[in-house]
Amino acid sequence: MPIEKSQQKQQPVIIVKDDNGQILRKVSVKEWLENHPFNADKEDFELKLYREALNYFYLKQYDQAEDLLIYLCEATHYQRYEYIERVATLYRTQNRLDKERCILLLAKRMQEKNEAPKELLQRITRRLDKVDEQLNHYQKANNLLALN
């Protein structure tokens, strides 16, 4: 079933390559799952998606990288910090501090709910503090500009 043009941006894709690295076709994650049901290879599938997201990130195709990373975060219930950290870095790269803060807050809540190690919670908290500090700096700068 073809994907409508309005939905293309919303659905993460997997690029299928041959042994020489040539792109054969693009397949949506949904189609891939229908044709390759999960068994013991779930982690392998997640790894492939993560590598594809990193590839998009490297190529500065941030929308595609974001789609895959958000999919991975949701699929793992925000329990894999490397996915969360990469999404936060993507938002930082695009200077979308509000989105970075949201993803970190969501991750922190999920980690607290699942009683994550305190070191991980501290790591998320430190990053949140940096984002909050930068957002406060921008807010003060905007207030000064508004006064002038």
pTM comes to 0.67
- For 25-143, give the CATH class: mainly alpha
Q: Where are the domains of the chain?
A: 25-143
Question: Residues near 105 by Cβ (< 8 Å), separated by ≥ 6?
Answer: 128
CA distance 73 to 48: 14
- Give the up-direction half-sphere exposure of residue 29: CA atoms within 13 A in the CB hemisphere: 20
Alpha helices in the chain (DSSP H): 29-35, 42-58, 62-75, 81-93, 97-113, 118-147
Summarize the confidence of residues 136-146 as an average pLDDT.
Answer: 70
| Predicted local distance difference test score (pLDDT) of residue 128 | 94
In the predicted model, is pLDDT for residue 4 greater than 60?
no
pLDDT level of residue 25 (50, 70, 90 thresholds) = confident
| Predicted local distance difference test score (pLDDT) of residue 86 | 94
Summarize the confidence of residues 15-41 as an average pLDDT.
Answer: 69
